Amino acid sequence: MKHLTIGFDAKRAVQNLTGIGNYSRLVLDVLTSRCPDNRYLLFAPHAVRNPRLDPLLERRGVEVRTPDTSFGRMATHLWRTRGLTGQLRRSGIDLYHGLSNELPAGIGRSGIPSVVTIHDLIFRRVPESYHAADRRICDWKFRRAAEAATRIIAISRRTAADIEELYGIDPSKIDIVYQGCAPAFHKSVGKSDIDRVRAAYGLPERYIAAVGTVEMRKNQQLAVRALERLPKSVKLVIVGRRSGYASELDRVIASSGAGDRVIFLTGVDFADLPALYAGAAVASYTSRYEGFGIPVIEAIASGTPVIAATGSCLEEAGGPGAVYVDPDDPAAYAEAAMRIMDDCALRDRMVAEGREHIRAFSADNFAEGLVSSYARTLGITF
């Protein structure tokens, strides 16, 4: 890549610790590692300390830019949507990448080549999981960004198909760039690390790990309902922030009599997740709809087979490293869990074949996909 000044929507890279924040930092990590001569300007409403971003800010050419006008500093929410395009011009940006489904107003007319990553259109596919006002706002922002962008990055074939179908976007404008997971999940996890994490969080000897926000769409209740069909020694460890849906899940747990077999963990250190996955008998990710499903890849990379749900893109993420069940079939879930736990040869084969499958989501492939999309955006060859 020739030397460029690339601007990023870095609000979530700076402020968030999960989800799109992780994606944003992974983009910066692979680009700064492989293309260190570029300048990377991270535009964010506020410059706050983030232990996961700080190491990237030590790299050459990386800096955070906050609003450069008094109006922008007073109204950061308006700056991000209305005032940022002017600041991009003043900053001499060659290319702008909206990392979180959005682009600032006016960028399509500004002459600044732009890329937007659209992670999913779940609010269109599972509308009951969102408030009506939130659906309308997301739909307006995402559609406008898809239409204004020079090119679109979709994180999966499923998301690319949704963008084409629901927004009428020409598929030739869409690049599918798989993102992968953080390098820590690909490192070998020793027994001492597993034992340390088990002790730190009070984990049982035999457990199913379900990592993800506790919300309706994530469908953790499928695993809860399957527990009565599994040996009492098997417990369910749900790792993630509790939303309003958590109280409904609590009722499901109480009515199923599984209260002593479900453990909720919040605030788990990101560095402990590989060992938490590696110590599990099975990982569970039975979301009704996803743009991709990074926890599936994290579990497989950590050496743990997955039970995932059919119906969206999870087969695309997990390949042979997971067993796929209907999101409303606890009997099928329990059967899959028992097969994985009882058949060591099956487990070993799933892990080996799953790890081979997720090589497609390596950091090198991710970087190559980003650079190729940027080249198409700029109409040049690197």
Using an 8 Å Cβ cutoff, are 264 and 214 in contact? yes
Q: Any alpha helices (H) in the chain, and if so which ranges? A: 11-15, 20-34, 54-57, 70-74, 76-78, 84-90, 107-110, 122-125, 132-148, 157-167, 191-201, 221-226, 245-256, 273-278, 294-301, 314-318, 330-342, 344-357, 363-378
User: Domains of the chain (ranges plus CATH)?
Assistant: 5-180+362-378 (3.40.50.2000), 184-359 (3.40.50.2000)
Listing DSSP states for 42-54 in one string gives EE-S-----TTTH
**Tens digits of per-residue pLDDT, 139-193?**
999 999 999 999 999 999 999 999 999 999 999 999 999 998 888 999 999 999 9
Contacts of 161 (CB under 8 A, 6+ apart): none
Token couple for 251 = 């009722």
What gap in Å lies between CA 253 and CA 222, rounded to an integer? 11
- DSSP code at position 56: H
Tell me phi and psi for residue 151, to 5 degrees.
-140, 160
Query: Exposure pattern of 230-258 as b/e (b: 16+ CB <10 Å)?
Result: beeebbbbbbbeeeebbeebbeebeebeb
More confident residue, 243 or 8: 8
pLDDT, the chain, mean: 95
**Tens digits of per-residue pLDDT, 56-113?**
999 999 999 999 999 999 999 899 999 999 999 999 999 999 999 999 999 999 999 9
**Tens digits of per-residue pLDDT, 311-360?**
889 999 999 999 999 999 999 999 999 999 999 999 999 999 999 999 99
Question: Residue 295's closest CA among 213, 360, 194?
Answer: 213
